[in-house]
Amino acid sequence: MSTLQSLKHPQVPLFWIALLRIMLGVMFLTTWLSNLSKGFYTPEGLLFFFSEVFPQSQNALTWYAAFIEGVILPMSGTFAPFQLVAEFLLGLFLLVGFLTPFTSVAAAFFITNTFLATFGHDWPWSYVMILGILGVLFFTKAGRSLGIDTRLAKNRSKPPIPYLW
Protein backbone atom coordinates (compact mmCIF):
# COMPACT_ATOMS: atom_id res chain seq x y z
CA MET A 1 0.00 0.00 0.00
CA SER A 2 1.41 3.41 -0.93
CA THR A 3 1.86 6.17 1.60
CA LEU A 4 -0.97 8.16 0.05
CA GLN A 5 -3.34 5.20 0.29
CA SER A 6 -2.36 4.56 3.91
CA LEU A 7 -3.25 8.17 4.74
CA LYS A 8 -6.68 7.73 3.17
CA HIS A 9 -7.33 4.40 4.88
CA PRO A 10 -5.27 4.22 8.08
CA GLN A 11 -5.41 0.93 9.93
CA VAL A 12 -5.48 0.86 13.71
CA PRO A 13 -6.17 -2.37 15.55
CA LEU A 14 -9.50 -2.13 17.35
CA PHE A 15 -7.75 -3.57 20.41
CA TRP A 16 -6.25 -0.15 21.21
CA ILE A 17 -9.61 1.56 20.90
CA ALA A 18 -11.13 -1.15 23.11
CA LEU A 19 -8.62 -0.12 25.78
CA LEU A 20 -9.99 3.43 25.59
CA ARG A 21 -13.50 2.01 26.01
CA ILE A 22 -12.44 -0.04 29.04
CA MET A 23 -10.67 2.98 30.53
CA LEU A 24 -13.83 5.08 30.24
CA GLY A 25 -15.89 2.26 31.75
CA VAL A 26 -13.54 2.15 34.73
CA MET A 27 -13.70 5.95 34.99
CA PHE A 28 -17.52 5.89 35.10
CA LEU A 29 -17.58 3.07 37.66
CA THR A 30 -14.98 4.61 40.00
CA THR A 31 -16.80 7.95 39.83
CA TRP A 32 -20.07 6.13 40.50
CA LEU A 33 -18.57 4.38 43.53
CA SER A 34 -17.16 7.66 44.85
CA ASN A 35 -20.50 9.45 44.38
CA LEU A 36 -22.32 6.53 46.02
CA SER A 37 -20.05 6.68 49.07
CA LYS A 38 -20.64 10.46 49.31
CA GLY A 39 -24.43 9.98 49.21
CA PHE A 40 -24.93 11.98 46.01
CA TYR A 41 -27.52 9.51 44.67
CA THR A 42 -30.15 10.49 47.21
CA PRO A 43 -32.50 13.46 46.91
CA GLU A 44 -30.62 15.22 49.72
CA GLY A 45 -27.26 14.33 48.20
CA LEU A 46 -28.30 15.69 44.82
CA LEU A 47 -29.41 18.94 46.45
CA PHE A 48 -26.07 19.13 48.30
CA PHE A 49 -24.17 18.45 45.07
CA PHE A 50 -25.90 21.27 43.17
CA SER A 51 -25.95 23.77 46.03
CA GLU A 52 -22.61 23.19 47.80
CA VAL A 53 -20.22 21.17 45.61
CA PHE A 54 -21.15 22.82 42.29
CA PRO A 55 -23.46 25.66 43.32
CA GLN A 56 -25.75 26.64 40.50
CA SER A 57 -25.77 30.21 41.80
CA GLN A 58 -22.18 30.37 40.48
CA ASN A 59 -22.86 28.65 37.17
CA ALA A 60 -22.12 31.09 34.34
CA LEU A 61 -24.69 29.28 32.20
CA THR A 62 -27.72 30.80 33.91
CA TRP A 63 -30.13 29.04 31.55
CA TYR A 64 -28.75 25.65 32.57
CA ALA A 65 -28.66 26.57 36.25
CA ALA A 66 -32.33 27.50 35.93
CA PHE A 67 -33.01 24.10 34.35
CA ILE A 68 -31.33 22.29 37.25
CA GLU A 69 -33.08 24.39 39.88
CA GLY A 70 -36.47 24.35 38.14
CA VAL A 71 -36.60 20.80 36.78
CA ILE A 72 -33.95 18.48 38.23
CA LEU A 73 -34.02 19.48 41.90
CA PRO A 74 -37.82 19.48 42.26
CA MET A 75 -37.76 15.92 40.84
CA SER A 76 -34.74 14.83 42.90
CA GLY A 77 -36.68 11.91 44.38
CA THR A 78 -37.00 10.47 40.88
CA PHE A 79 -33.83 11.82 39.33
CA ALA A 80 -31.35 10.67 42.03
CA PRO A 81 -32.15 6.92 41.76
CA PHE A 82 -32.31 7.23 37.96
CA GLN A 83 -28.82 8.73 37.96
CA LEU A 84 -27.61 6.00 40.32
CA VAL A 85 -28.69 3.28 37.91
CA ALA A 86 -27.85 5.12 34.67
CA GLU A 87 -24.31 6.06 35.67
CA PHE A 88 -23.60 2.51 36.86
CA LEU A 89 -24.96 0.96 33.65
CA LEU A 90 -23.01 3.37 31.45
CA GLY A 91 -19.79 2.34 33.18
CA LEU A 92 -20.62 -1.36 33.13
CA PHE A 93 -21.69 -1.38 29.46
CA LEU A 94 -18.55 0.51 28.40
CA LEU A 95 -16.37 -1.81 30.47
CA VAL A 96 -17.77 -5.01 28.94
CA GLY A 97 -18.42 -3.60 25.46
CA PHE A 98 -22.20 -4.06 25.40
CA LEU A 99 -24.24 -2.00 22.91
CA THR A 100 -21.19 0.25 22.66
CA PRO A 101 -22.35 2.74 20.00
CA PHE A 102 -25.67 3.29 21.80
CA THR A 103 -23.91 3.46 25.17
CA SER A 104 -21.41 5.96 23.77
CA VAL A 105 -24.22 8.30 22.74
CA ALA A 106 -25.91 7.96 26.14
CA ALA A 107 -22.58 8.58 27.89
CA ALA A 108 -21.94 11.65 25.70
CA PHE A 109 -25.36 13.01 26.71
CA PHE A 110 -24.49 12.39 30.37
CA ILE A 111 -21.02 13.99 30.11
CA THR A 112 -22.43 17.01 28.25
CA ASN A 113 -24.98 17.55 31.00
CA THR A 114 -22.31 17.18 33.67
CA PHE A 115 -20.14 19.71 31.85
CA LEU A 116 -23.02 22.20 31.66
CA ALA A 117 -23.91 21.67 35.34
CA THR A 118 -20.32 22.20 36.50
CA PHE A 119 -19.48 24.93 33.99
CA GLY A 120 -16.77 27.24 35.28
CA HIS A 121 -15.65 24.88 38.04
CA ASP A 122 -13.77 22.19 36.14
CA TRP A 123 -11.22 22.26 33.36
CA PRO A 124 -13.42 22.18 30.22
CA TRP A 125 -10.94 20.16 28.18
CA SER A 126 -11.41 17.15 30.45
CA TYR A 127 -15.01 16.95 29.22
CA VAL A 128 -14.02 17.62 25.61
CA MET A 129 -11.46 14.78 25.77
CA ILE A 130 -14.05 12.36 27.14
CA LEU A 131 -16.53 13.41 24.44
CA GLY A 132 -13.86 12.92 21.78
CA ILE A 133 -13.11 9.41 23.01
CA LEU A 134 -16.83 8.61 23.10
CA GLY A 135 -17.08 9.75 19.48
CA VAL A 136 -14.26 7.38 18.54
CA LEU A 137 -15.99 4.54 20.39
CA PHE A 138 -19.23 5.26 18.55
CA PHE A 139 -17.78 5.37 15.05
CA THR A 140 -15.45 2.39 15.50
CA LYS A 141 -18.06 0.22 17.26
CA ALA A 142 -15.40 -0.44 19.87
CA GLY A 143 -17.37 -3.19 21.62
CA ARG A 144 -16.45 -5.51 18.76
CA SER A 145 -13.01 -5.97 20.30
CA LEU A 146 -12.77 -7.39 23.81
CA GLY A 147 -16.51 -6.90 24.21
CA ILE A 148 -19.91 -8.51 24.22
CA ASP A 149 -20.73 -6.73 20.95
CA THR A 150 -18.37 -9.21 19.25
CA ARG A 151 -20.78 -12.05 20.03
CA LEU A 152 -23.81 -10.00 19.07
CA ALA A 153 -22.24 -9.15 15.71
CA LYS A 154 -21.36 -12.82 15.06
CA ASN A 155 -24.63 -14.35 16.28
CA ARG A 156 -27.11 -11.77 15.07
CA SER A 157 -25.31 -10.10 12.18
CA LYS A 158 -27.04 -6.76 11.64
CA PRO A 159 -28.62 -5.03 14.64
CA PRO A 160 -32.34 -4.22 14.40
CA ILE A 161 -31.43 -0.56 14.96
CA PRO A 162 -28.33 0.79 13.18
CA TYR A 163 -25.35 1.37 15.50
CA LEU A 164 -26.86 -0.61 18.35
CA TRP A 165 -23.77 -2.86 18.49
Instruction: Provide the residue ranges of all domains of the chain, joining segments of one domain with +.
Output: 14-156
Question: What rounded mean pLDDT belongs to the chain?
Answer: 93
- Burial class (CB within 10 angstroms; exposed 0-12, middle 13-18, buried 19+) of 34: exposed
32-36, 43-47, 73-77, 153-157 — which is least confidently predicted? 153-157
Position 2 pLDDT exceeds 70:
no
Q: Which helix (H) or strand (E) holds 46?
A: helix 43-48
Say whether pLDDT at 66 is over 80.
yes
pLDDT of residue 50: 95
Which of 9-18, 44-53, 69-78 comes out lowest in average pLDDT? 9-18
User: Which pLDDT belongs to residue 95?
Assistant: 98
d(CA 138, CA 55): 32
Q: Is the pTM of this model over 0.85?
A: yes
Q: Phi and psi dihedrals of 12, rounded to 5? A: -130, 125
For residue 164, name the pLDDT band (cuts at 50, 70, 90): confident
What Rg value do the Cα atoms of the chain yield, rounded? Answer: 18
